[in-house]
A and B are shown apart, each in its own frame.
Chain A
């Protein structure tokens, strides 16, 4: 028994899984993580996961793009080499808007996605930290750290009660290193 590192409850139905989370939490059993094949709304609030701050990152990157683009165009068209085009003003703000907008979007999108990949350690070639292979296809998986000293039989019965169709006792954390 001491070899068991993680207890996994596999659910077929997302509602049963939500029910299972409630059950476990009522019994003060902390949940390590939940792996699902689709986004489940409300699960982050239930598990106390903080709101994502990527929106702020997106805004900061976007505004950086705005100032970069406008500053660059101002430097090139007004400061460095002003050209006389039929006597029209060099500082032609309306003409600067399209590229300023495009670079705002570009910086915002790449900055935000870059931050997302960085924070979640997503990059090409990263070994997937997967506990259960079917969690990306058709199983909703609750993972419980077995070394936290919970009564594993109780955990099993709670998961069963909530409607888990399979319970796994894994003696290693990630399958993917096999």
Chain B
């Protein structure tokens, strides 16, 4: 099986010369087995400062209550739920890459799934911290659990989407964690078997005693496939249920049936943007250009333009239905996104999410690393504004004009948000230092089938039709890690 060659017309998934199983292990474990460089320390210190800010701001919130935030009687949900939905959405791309692309046998997922899944877990942690801190009385956080009457309330109301959300997010987090960790076992074992002393002991405990025997691998493959099978509907259900927190209310701008698919598409859209933001930097800093290639970058940009356009269609249908419904309040909510006092937030939302990603129709932009990175940041900003617009702009001017009010964030709101980004990056930077950021076992599968060197060898041996070889060499032009000149002499 491993000698099966992929079609020459497909672009390679691993580039570089002399890629052996040994070299893959050395390359991927380099940041784990060596002292971190200056770039890592700078990033880590900045991120850790953010995390400290988060700690301070959340402690301040717990001490003083959520009155420390800028909420008022009209706008009772603002940056907290915006931040929550933003983070949960970001998490979705990791599961999409690891589960959905596994079911579709997309081998390019092999080199990005590990870090994307780690991103999922850290993003859901950030989202969960918002849930706890917006409760006001976090020591009563166990109230949404189905506990009996003696605890002071009835059973929880299972008709409420907020209760569904508790189950959805906690299931999503725990299943993602299990999926990620099972995949990590063979790679942790690889670190263990190369280490000595205390490191060996620590990684030995973490590796659960993995040894790579036939039966272990066979069961591992079954587990991966079934987990992917259940994680796929799970990830779709999670953002569906998040959207129902809004859609089952009677609030204008929230009470729409398009919310579930619209939120899921938006989640994948923002998640891929965050994967792009992280990986473009990671591949450079960790020197993983041969494993996370231009093909991966371009593929992710294609998904961004696709999901961004789906989100655009959802926006259009929202406008149409608001007009078509004939409901005055609903119509006002959508007009007010451009004409009200928050017109700039509306412009950020529609501009960053629908217009800017359309640039990815151009191949030169899709394959330009600097522009791709900037656009991924733009999408992240746009998706934050989407949630802000949906939440605050619906609440601040709804049915009763006498109750209309503006929302102004306090320094606590801002610190909790910036701090949560710090928490996320602290966790991510620790992850790339202590665990392999590329799934080595899965990348090894690609060496013989779809690496650049194996394809080059086939061409050199003259086993490929010349026009097909020519097409293939032409497709290599965009790769920053390939020397096309090497093919001239063949």
Contacts and interface: CB of A to CB of B under 8 A. Distances in A.
Interface stretch (B155-163, B335-343, B389-397, B478-486): B155-163
A83 B3 contact: no
Contacts of B155: 76-77, 80-81
Nearest to A54: B222
A122 B22 contact: no
Interface residues of A, number: 67
Interface in B136-157: 146, 149, 154-157
Nearest to A139: B21
Contact of B193 (A81, A124, A130): A130
B217 interface: yes
Interface stretch (B229-237, B249-257, B262-270, B365-373): B229-237
B442 interface: yes
Contact of A137 (B190, B206, B213, B442): B190
Given A99-B164, A103-B167, A83 B217 contact: no
A52 B218 contact: yes
B15 interface: no
A81 B20 CA distance: 65
Interface in B180-237: 182, 185-186, 189-190, 192-194, 204-223, 226-227, 230-231, 233-234, 237
Contact of B227 (A33, A99, A109): A109
A171 interface: no
B2 interface: yes
Contacts of B182: 113, 116
Contacts of A54: 219, 222-223, 226
A129 B221 CA distance: 20
B357 to A, nearest CB: 31
Interface stretch (A22-30, A39-47, A145-153, A154-162): A39-47
B217 A39 contact: yes
A98 B146 contact: no
A67 interface: no
Given A52-B219, A110-B174, A62 B167 contact: no
Contacts of A124: 205-206, 208
A138 B212 CA distance: 12
Contact of B212 (A35, A55, A108, A125): A35
B274 interface: no
A105 to B, nearest CB: 5
A3 B284 CA distance: 51
B194 A137 contact: yes
Given A54-B226, A116-B219, A105 B233 contact: yes
Contacts of A113: 178, 182, 223, 227
B146 A39 contact: no
Contact of B21 (A37, A40, A72, A98): A37
B222 A55 contact: yes
B223 to A, nearest CB: 5
B230 A105 contact: yes
Interface of B: 1-3, 20-22, 24-25, 146, 149, 154-159, 161, 163-164, 167-168, 171, 174-175, 178-179, 182, 185-186, 189-190, 192-194, 204-223, 226-227, 230-231, 233-234, 237, 241, 244, 440-442, 444-445, 448
Given A40-B217, A109-B230, A127-B209, 19 more contacts: A35-B211, A37-B444, A38-B444, A39-B445, A43-B214, A58-B226, A72-B146, A76-B156, A80-B155, A98-B167, A98-B237, A98-B241, A105-B234, A112-B223, A113-B182, A128-B209, A135-B212, A137-B22, A138-B21
